[in-house]
């Protein structure tokens, strides 16, 4: 007998479909786990138990013929994502009491597909950092080692999935914010191609860097959630690439991308930071597995170099300038204030120049990598970091630079708009997760998911769990 949280999201939906579990039972099971472990791992800012129970009752009342692949399955929404009638703090004390009057498009899509949100997951303040340590919730901790960060800005989403508090979660990724926490916590974090998932109904598109996306334990769970999220919405600023006719889940289940030429590199792109041996070992293992699966892995130069950092930094400064009441600026964290102060000094001309130079680099990178089907590199230069390591020096400029050196790979693919996924292929010498990035050409999400699923299969699977997974007394709801 297994516990319900041992099942993948798709297995839970299948159990609901067979009448072995109900959405209501799953919600109660997970709320019990959240009550026991949520603060320990810093997963949630707000838990919406009453609301979730009502949604579960509605889900259980839907006729079987009208249910989709994830109907009735619990999930969670990142606290950066607008959710009508629910406190949405954006990770900031400045918005601690804000309740959104509207839903983000992605929230509507999740609800329409019958998923049930259990609450809002911890994020970094305004999504500005790759760790989630704020004044509105406990820090998001890696369930594999609680003294370490779960990453950010989707750190709470990763902590929740890795600790077995939800099977899959919504997050967003503007510079690695799904893939970084996934790598740290041993999960699959997927950044889709630009335009695949709506960022509306508010916002200007943030130069095309951020996108909503899924995080989960298996490639098929992530692909199924991407199918739910990727409903076209009129008026989006970026034209989405044509979706696969079969859907993303079908592409992942096929797990047959065909023989591929995969370009491998390990040099950092936003920083000249030598990767940790454990990060290199994860790439070596992925290389061996992909080669054994029949693909050709070749060394290629990194698409970008550290000369792109000043340009990216300028754009990131400006993106921190979210609308903010003047009397609340003092409630922001030192890093956020620093980024906003720097952003306020960027002139319109300087911003346009930086965007133009970045686009030239994107074009050059695309031409340099045109001879390969996928790119393989580490997710992070260093696989793990302790809570407080980034803020330790007390200097926000040093904090920001430490983030760059910790994660010099992910953000480049936000610039290019390419689909990119972190996969938990490796482990550190201490047995903690270490991820690798696979990245495909723009619009080739189906190919990327098929290759990721194949890598998962040939690796023997990677749905491993930390010790905290079994720390809650057994539920009286079991699934055989």
Active site residue 153: yes
Closest among 262, 338, 325 to 96, alpha carbons compared: 325
In a 13 Å sphere around the CA of 53, the CA atoms on its Cβ side amount to 7
In whole angstroms, what is the distance from residue 207 CA to residue 319 CA?
A: 9
**Contact criterion met (CB below 8 Å) for 290 and 425:** no
Q: Which of 92, 100, 117, 153 is catalytic?
A: 153
Contact 106, 197 (CB under 8 A): yes
Cα 244 from Cα 125, distance rounded (Å)? 35
Q: E-strand spans in 122-183?
A: 141-142, 145-149, 168-173
Q: How far apart are CA 212 and CA 458, in angstroms?
A: 28
Which residue in 23, 154, 177, 198 is the catalytic one?
177
Q: Is 459 a catalytic residue?
A: no
How many CB atoms within 10 Å of residue 371?
10
- DSSP-derived letter for residue 127 is G
Q: What is the DSSP letter of 94?
A: G
Kindly list the distances between the CA atom of residue 191 and the CA atoms of 266, 305, 315, in Å, as whole numbers in the listed order: 20, 21, 19
Helix, strand or coil, per DSSP, at residue 428: coil
Q: How far apart are CA 202 and CA 229, in angstroms?
A: 17
DSSP structure class, residue 149: E
Q: Which of 265, 54, 264, 73 is nearest to 168 (CA)?
A: 73
| Residue 191 is among the residues annotated as catalytic for this protein | no
**Which residues, 6+ apart, have CB-to-CB distance to 254 below 8 Å?**
246, 450, 453
Of 78, 92, 193, 279, the active-site residue reads 78
**Where do the H-state alpha helices sit in 204-347?**
219-229, 248-254, 277-292, 309-319, 334-344
Contact between 275 and 378 under an 8 Å Cβ cutoff? The reply is yes
Q: Are 119 and 44 a contacting pair, CB within 8 Å?
A: yes
Contact by Cβ (8 Å): 271, 405? yes
With beta carbons less than 8 A apart as the criterion, state whether 248 and 190 touch.
no
Q: What is the chain's alpha carbon radius of gyration, rounded to the nearest angstrom?
A: 21
Integer Cα distance of 369 and 362 in angstroms = 11
CA distance 70 to 169: 12
Measured CA to CA, the distance from residue 390 to residue 398 in angstroms comes to 8
Name the residues annotated as catalytic. Answer: 78, 153, 177
């Amino acid at each position: 007998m297994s516990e319900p949280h041992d099942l993948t999201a798709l297995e839970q939906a299948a159990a609901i479909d067979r009448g072995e579990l109900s959405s209501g039972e799953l919600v109660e099971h997970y709320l019990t786990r959240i009550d026991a472990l949520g603060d320990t791992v810093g997963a949630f800012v707000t838990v919406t138990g009453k609301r979730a129970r009502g949604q579960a009752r509605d889900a259980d009342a839907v006729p079987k013929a009208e249910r989709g692949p994830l109907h009735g399955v619990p999930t969670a929404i990142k606290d950066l994502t607008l959710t009508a009638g629910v406190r949405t703090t954006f990770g900031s004390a400045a918005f601690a009491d804000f309740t959104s009057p509207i839903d983000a498009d992605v929230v509507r899509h999740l609800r329409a597909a019958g998923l049930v949100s259990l609450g809002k997951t911890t994020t970094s303040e305004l999504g500005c950092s790759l760790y989630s340590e704020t004044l509105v919730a406990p820090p998001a901790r890696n369930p594999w080692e609680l003294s370490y960060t779960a990453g950010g800005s989707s750190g709470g989403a990763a902590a929740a999935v890795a600790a077995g508090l939800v099977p899959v979660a919504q997050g967003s990724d503007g510079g690695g914010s799904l893939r970084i926490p996934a790598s740290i916590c041993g999960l699959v974090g997927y950044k889709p191609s630009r335009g695949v998932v709506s960022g509306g109904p508010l916002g200007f598109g943030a130069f095309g860097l951020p996108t909503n996306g899924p995080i989960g334990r298996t490639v098929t769970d992530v692909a199924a959630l991407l199918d739910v999220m990727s409903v076209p919405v009129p008026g989006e600023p970026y034209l989405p690439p044509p979706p696969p006719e079969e859907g993303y889940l079908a592409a992942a289940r096929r797990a047959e991308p065909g023989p591929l030429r995969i370009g491998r590199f390990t040099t950092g792109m936003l920083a000249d930071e030598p990767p940790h041996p454990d990060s290199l070992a994860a790439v070596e293992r992925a290389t061996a597995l992909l080669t054994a699966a029949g693909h050709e892995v070749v060394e290629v130069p990194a698409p970008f170099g550290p000369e792109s950092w000043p340009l990216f930094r300028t754009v990131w400064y400006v993106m921190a300038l979210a609308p903010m009441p003047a009397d609340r600026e003092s409630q922001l964290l030192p890093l956020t204030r620093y980024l906003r102060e720097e952003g306020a000094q960027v002139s319109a001309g300087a911003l346009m120049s930086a965007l133009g130079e970045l686009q030239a680099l994107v074009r050059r990178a695309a031409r340099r990598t045109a001879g390969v089907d996928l790119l393989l590199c580490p997710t992070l230069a260093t696989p793990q970091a302790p809570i407080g390591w980034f803020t330790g020096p007390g200097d926000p400029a040093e904090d920001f630079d430490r983030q760059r050196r910790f994660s010099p790979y992910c953000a480049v693919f936000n610039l290019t708009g390419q689909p990119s996924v972190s996969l938990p292929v490796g482990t550190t010498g201490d047995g903690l997760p270490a991820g690798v990035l696979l990245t495909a050409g723009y619009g080739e999400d189906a190919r990327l998911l098929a290759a990721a699923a194949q890598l998962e299969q040939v690796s023997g699977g990677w749905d491993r769990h930390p010790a905290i997974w079994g720390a809650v007394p057994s539920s009286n709801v079991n699934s055989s």
